[in-house]
A and B are shown apart, each in its own frame.
Chain A
């Protein structure tokens, strides 16, 4: 049910390059998994609310106070490529 074309669409959305062989292989595996997951269709969930959070009752906020991070240097140095304090990437266009 998840054919090669869909797998290629997904590969593009998730920005992972795959070969045609991999697309075929993943299509079979993912289809099998989704067949199993179709089990969920047995249930009637029409009036059920989705469960997203558990135990939070009050608003969780941060005050609008500036705290300068002392990690700017490390952050830039962790970058595989940087130039003059900016992250360098191949031309976008």
Chain B
């Protein structure tokens, strides 16, 4: 076919437009990406399942109709194997569609497969998957980030126009920054969690991973909205994120928090952020210095709260109702053997940490205390947003690290989430976008955070940034 190669240089919205104008056949598009996955994915292992026949609704319609999308392996698709990259769900077939999946199907998108992740989203490198590690398409010796590493790597290599990931402490944004793509975590509650296999209920959000902000806005339009099946979902009455696809950002106040630029920040990342600040300044944004004084407590707070909730959310995996089961003669052994064999090491570590924090005698000192510190962290942001409209930080202190580098040092792995965690704790929308490359050609990501329900401001700033830069247009060569 003569028009093949252009697809990887077009954004999803542009491809969809060509479909609408009958310039291309939707099934040709699907096959194009399907073949590309088959040809290239073995180099990075971003996919777990690929569907020859798309999952779609023939009557679906939206501006993105006809396009394939990849889904992280923790979002339920009815009739499909959904495993959270864990042995304990290795044979689990989802019996219902997550709300976001229903919405995607109704919008005419085609689900092309499920992507690799850290088991149950526990991790920042996609090395904790029970299947394989997803490699970074920019350098296959490096991690793709996590836990949505599969989705980010697949989008970076243009195996799909876009994907869905989930973000609890940075799991969309950090892999997006390592892979050079846009990763968006919406305001908590904006997107329904019904059908997202839970890690930490008060922190989890589903969000889009795309190459650009146009696709991001259109996808958000499809997946956002209050859901009667999710008691924690809450939304704006009306929303249209494509309204924010506007280049003019004059007068928007962007805050730079000093706590995110201290020691520990990689030199090249720092320089790249400084360049980003300048680009915004030149475009008319007002740059202000702000303080987020409780930043240093975010990682500790997060690990207590998320592990505690996770330890409870993962109790249901016991081999009785679904999933992996180790047959034993007694019920007690059934539980302990199934969970011993079904969960990986990081999952066990988190469950243990969480169980400990909630247990009698430790609850006040750990769990309750962490909930209170969470208030302090949130307050920092509330104060900051009195002065500014958005906050700009690096997404990660370093670019992608080596596979195997941090896997045996959990604390070091946890600390790499230091810049992304605060937005989850505060329930705020945040996005990572590519803002440069290291001299070794590894992507660098910048993060923008906004006030709750001001997700549009992030689209606005990101779109404007991409108007004058082309970091997001670079494609890794494998």
| A interface, CB within 8 angstroms of B | 2, 6-7, 9-11, 13-18, 26, 29-30, 32-34, 36-37, 39-43, 45, 48-56, 60, 62, 71, 74-75, 78-81, 87, 89-92
Once bound together, how far apart are the Cα atoms of A89 and B356, in whole Å? 28
- What are 21 of the A-B contact pairs (CB < 8 Å)? A10-B352, A15-B332, A15-B335, A16-B352, A18-B348, A26-B349, A34-B353, A37-B366, A40-B369, A50-B374, A51-B371, A52-B202, A52-B371, A54-B188, A55-B452, A74-B93, A74-B95, A79-B322, A80-B322, A80-B325, A92-B331
Q: Is the CB of B356 within 8 A of A50?
A: no
Residue in B228, B300, B324, B325 whose Cβ sees the most chain A Cβ within 10 Å: B300
Q: Is the CB of B331 within 8 A of A53?
A: no
* Interchain CB contact (< 8 A) of A51 among B337, B355, B375: B375
Q: Does B251 contact A (CB under 8 A)?
A: no
Q: Nearest-CB distance from A50 to chain B (Å)?
A: 3
Q: Does B372 contact A (CB under 8 A)?
A: yes
| B interface, CB within 8 angstroms of A | 92-93, 95-96, 187-189, 202, 228, 231-232, 234, 294, 296-297, 299-301, 303-304, 311, 315, 318-325, 328-337, 339-340, 343, 348-349, 351-353, 355-356, 359, 365-366, 368-376, 378, 410-411, 414, 427, 452-453
* Interchain CB contact (< 8 A) of B371 among A42, A50, A55, A92: A50
Q: Nearest-CB distance from A51 to chain B (Å)?
A: 4
Once bound together, how far apart are the Cα atoms of A36 and B333, in whole Å? 34
Q: Which residues of A contact B369 (CB under 8 A)?
A: 40-41, 45
Q: Which residues of B contact A53 (CB under 8 A)?
A: 202, 232
Q: Nearest-CB distance from B441 to chain A (Å)?
A: 33
Q: Is the CB of B352 within 8 A of A79?
A: no
The A-B contact count (CB < 8 A) is 154
Closest 4 pairs between A and B when the two form their complex, measured CB to CB: A50-B371, A17-B336, A45-B372, A80-B325
Q: Is the CB of B376 within 8 A of A10?
A: no
Q: Known contacts A29-B410, A40-B369, A43-B373; can you find 18 more A-B pairs with CB under 8 A?
A: A9-B359, A10-B352, A14-B355, A15-B315, A16-B339, A16-B352, A18-B340, A36-B299, A39-B300, A41-B369, A48-B375, A48-B376, A49-B375, A51-B371, A51-B378, A54-B427, A56-B234, A90-B331
Q: Nearest-CB distance from B3 to chain A (Å)?
A: 41
* Interchain CB contact (< 8 A) of B352 among A11, A39, A75: A11
Q: Is the CB of B330 within 8 A of A90?
A: yes
Q: Is the CB of B319 within 8 A of A39?
A: no
Q: Is the CB of B329 within 8 A of A10?
A: no
Q: Is the CB of B95 within 8 A of A79?
A: no
Q: Which residues of A contact B336 (CB under 8 A)?
A: 11, 15-17
Once bound together, how far apart are the Cα atoms of A79 and B96, in whole Å? 15
Q: Which residues of A contact B410 (CB under 8 A)?
A: 29, 33
* Interchain CB contact (< 8 A) of A60 among B231, B297, B353, B365: B231
* Interchain CB contact (< 8 A) of B370 among A15, A40, A42: A40
Q: Which residues of B contact A14 (CB under 8 A)?
A: 311, 315, 339, 351-352, 355
A36-B300, A50-B375, A71-B95 in contact; A30/B356 too (CB < 8 A)?
Answer: yes
Q: Is the CB of A17 within 8 A of B340?
A: yes
Once bound together, how far apart are the Cα atoms of A9 and B352, in whole Å? 10
